[in-house]
Structure 1
Amino acid sequence: MTTPGWWPRRSRRVRGEDLVRSLYNEHGASLLAYATRLTNDRAAAEDIVQETLLRAWKHSDALTAEKGSVRGWLLTVARNIVTDRARARAVRPPEVAEVTESPSVERDHADQVVDSMAMLGALDNLSPEHREVLVEIYYKGRTVTEAAQVLGIAAGTVKSRSYYALRALRAVMSGGKTGTEVPR
């Protein structure tokens, strides 16, 4: 609460750190509540209170009792700081998050050829049943139902063979054994 004649004479004014301390002790809670209400952000409100007290320290001449309420002056300064920050945010372009992943590198055609050759070699190590299911589904792009019709087997069998064929293919590609031990 502001007492009348808080600084009745210039010679008795509080200076420096004592000024900021006394203003904070007397008006800090109400300033923080006001700034929090304006910003809906406690951390931003604390920054605003700090900036308000800094401006009070810089412009201590304006805090004379003759000019009105010290609390009113502080609340006006706080409101102006909030307004200035909102305007600055509206004008400033949005910040772009840092890119954490490296830019993608396009694969060379030679890499695709090498991969295709490795895949064909791995497919040769699979059983004929597994190989034909993978060729129908992944190379010819057929659905499970279409592959089942072409191969003359049930759709469930296509799904099962596809599952075990992929497991066997993964084992072959990673340098493991051939897919002959995997059930058909």
Structure 2
Amino acid sequence: MARGEKVVRALYQQHGAALMAYANRLTGGRRAWAEDVVTQTLVRAAKARDLGEGVQARLWLFRTVQDVVGEGTDSVVPAAQRRQLAVADALLALPPRHRDVLVAPKAGATATKDAFVALHAFKDALAARGVTKSGLDDLLAERQQ
């Protein structure tokens, strides 16, 4: 068995389920596409020289999943749907306490402070996914039509 194949098998055993779940989420539940993304990620891992070990390898793998999905979305998913996926992914990435405040807001001074903190966390999560204010404005305009 070649070294690259051993690396891929070990990475898949350690991280395969998590990579698949993440790819599935990023591809909007399109399982076949998610499987292709994970496969491509592992192919790149076999060729990588700067993969590292442990947490560093896991971070590299997840970043590569994002890259592979991003490369595929340009040809597979329209821009409006990519923004929707990014917004949904950002919301799902929030801690449950922030997500709950945004989805089911409550009244009161403490709730206002919690909502402020949750909105800033959501804004940061959106920015990390490349969604800008103008992108959100476009998304809202499309929804109103």
Please give the TM-score of this superposition, normalised by the length of structure 1. Answer: 0.38
More contact order relative to length (CA 8 Å, sep ≥ 6): 2
Rg (Cα) greater in structure: 1
Please give the TM-score of this superposition, normalised by the length of structure 2. Answer: 0.48
